[in-house]
Amino acid sequence: MECLPKSKAEKVYVRRITVTMAVYVLLVFGTTWAVRHAHVQGWLLYVCAVVPSLAIFRLLQVVGLYLKEETDEFVRQQMVNSILWGTAVVLGLSAVSDFLRGYTGKGELPGFTIFIVFWMVFALAQGVQQLRNRVGGDD
């Protein structure tokens, strides 16, 4: 299997994702510290609770920008497939959870489950597609 060069859009995507995730980690640690140690209260507490999700919105925007900027349609399609897989699994999972809660009162998913599962399935789908579409030696 050959290590293929990344497209320009892919390089930009990786750089944006790296920066966004670094900002996300800083925001999570920052707000956690502010809430636990600075004893933030009132409206500022609500602001602190929402601030980390701004990085998540940026993350979603980065994925959207990549889909817009990637000129290789096959690579773009693989990304779309992965997003669809992630979406399908989390929609199914949330439906099961909602029915369980509705009928049994149990089955509530822990916080961030949907988000984590989406990205795990997305990564898995990307990996499977990379493996399926790997290229051998050039002739």
Partner 1 sequence: MTNRLKALRAERGWSQAFLAERLEVSRQSVNAIETGRYDPSLPLAFRIARLFEMRIEEIFEDRE
Q: Where along the sequence are the contacts to partner 1 (CB under 8 A)? A: 2, 4-5, 7, 71-75, 77, 132-135, 138-139
Residue whose C-alpha is closest to residue 16's, from 74, 78, 70: 70
Residue with Cβ nearer partner 1 (75 or 83): 75
**Beta-carbon neighbour count of residue 120 at 10 Å?**
13
What's the closest the beta carbon of residue 66 comes to partner 1, in angstroms? 14
The rounded distance, in Å, linking the Cα atoms of 118 and 59 is 13
Residue with Cβ nearer partner 1 (87 or 133): 133
One-letter amino acid for residue 10 of the chain: E
Residue with Cβ nearer partner 1 (61 or 130): 130
